[in-house]
Amino acid sequence: MKHLKYYLFTAVIMLTFLGATAQVDKQKELEEKRQSLLEEIKNIKSFLFKTQGQKKSVLTEVQDLGQQITARENLIRVTNQQANFLTREINNNLTKIDDLREELKKLKEDYGAMIRKSYKSKSQQSRVMFLLSSEDFLQAYKRLQYMKQYAKHRKMQGEKIKDKTNLLQVLNQDLVDQKKQKEKLIDENRIAKRALDKEKKDQESLMATLRKDEGKFSSQIKEKQRETAAIDRQIDALIKAAIAKANKESGVKPEKSTSKTNSATFALTPEAKALAANFTSNKGKLPWPVDKGIVIGKYGTHQDPLLPNVTRSLSGVEIATGADGYAQAVFNGEVMEIQEIKGTKAIYIRHGNYITVYSNLISILVKKGDKVTTKQKLGAIYQNPLTGKNVLKFYLYQDSSKKNPADWIYRM
């Protein structure tokens, strides 16, 4: 029975500890999300709205505002989650404080009764007489042990009261801190909501202009989409040609492709296989191809949020960065090709049977055949004179098969 009580007590302690740890982890996770969104909003202002007097097309303005509105809505949502989480924590603390006060009250009552009982027989003479009045030595020994245990119990009760009082003070301080933190989050959300309302009002005003001439703007988007598709075909063709050339030079036969698309595959040397395996093991952990940036174009086919009849399709991602932004390697590898695309340059880096492509560069810092390391600068990103934006177009391939960079880059 004693063992059962011990195990039950241990289980309760462990569950309480795990519950507290989970709460701390959840709080930390929400705060990390909030800080990440604050950083994203800061970057949007810096990279998309960097020049106040800059003349943009209505379409560009609406797209930029849409990016900011989405980030702001996410921030408000996460901040609300934090405030709600703190409300639950405050309520839990209030319950704990009430329970502790009851426990403390009972402990003090028990301790008071013990002190009164002890006071009645506190004299040394009474204790000596209690021992001397024993019928035999064994009874005297037992009485002495009882007196020691009673004194020990009194001390333990005193320590319990002290511990419970300290715990109550800590919980009270936690409660004060949590209430302050919640008030701060609510204030920040009020400010964010005011900014969001203004941004939505500005966007609606621009959308009215957009709707008046929807056909014209749809044509602009479709033209841009055709240009993007043409660049994608150039990149695909170069990759297939580069794979064929690399296979011929290595003299190693490629493994048979299991893909139904009959895609071109690299013939891998043992060293290339090791590099590819290392690249694969870093999926989801690769650094961004820019020092700081925001994704303004996602991989895949998406319906345009402004014009429902228009879809956008990207084979990679588009990342806006600062005016002095540089593309940087996401992993160790070798410069496989450098390509001219409509007045800009694209760098192809091979990592075993993986290729990363860094397009829309105005100048380059590497040459074909160079070995590069993770985060090494590759070239300066071109600034569009019409939009004022510096946008890197980043692609990721496994052999000649396109992959979603967001699955590979850390927190993209």
pLDDT of 178-211, one tens digit each?
Answer: 899 999 999 999 999 999 999 999 999 988 888 8
Query: Could you tell me the CA-to-CA distances from 239 to 28, 122, 335, 352 in Å, in that order?
Result: 43, 95, 13, 14
pLDDT (tens digit, 9 = 90+) per residue, 32-70?
Answer: 999 999 999 999 998 988 755 556 788 888 889 999 999
Confidence of residue 93 (pLDDT cuts 50, 70, 90): confident
What's the pTM value of the predicted model, to 2 decimals?
A: 0.74
Backbone angles phi, psi at 299, to 5 degrees: -65, 145
| Average pLDDT value for residue range 344-355 | 98
Give yes or no for residue 354 having a pLDDT over 90. yes
State the pLDDT at residue 128.
Answer: 62
| Average pLDDT value for residue range 285-299 | 96
- Cβ atoms of 81 and 30 within 8 Å: the answer is yes
- Two structure tokens written together for 63: 């797209």
State the pLDDT at residue 195.
Answer: 95
What percent of the chain is predicted at pLDDT more than 70?
83
Please identify which residue in the block is written with the tokens 């943009």: 56
Confidence of residue 167 (pLDDT cuts 50, 70, 90): confident
Higher-scoring residue by pLDDT: 26, 327: 327
What percent of the chain is predicted at pLDDT more than 90?
53
Give yes or no for residue 390 having a pLDDT over 60. yes
Please tell me the distance from the alpha carbon of residue 329 to that of residue 351, in angstroms, as a whole number.
11
The H or E element that residue 152 is part of is helix 137-212
Please tell me the distance from the alpha carbon of residue 223 to that of residue 387, in angstroms, as a whole number.
16
DSSP-derived pairing of the beta strands 354-364 and 344-351 = antiparallel
Give yes or no for residue 122 having a pLDDT over 60. no
State the pLDDT at residue 217.
Answer: 79
Structural domains for the chain: 2-212 (no CATH), 214-407 (2.70.70.10)
State the pLDDT at residue 100.
Answer: 78
Backbone angles phi, psi at 349, to 5 degrees: -115, 130
Please identify which residue in the block is written with the tokens 């969104």: 37
Give yes or no for residue 124 having a pLDDT over 60. no
Give yes or no for residue 2 having a pLDDT over 70. no
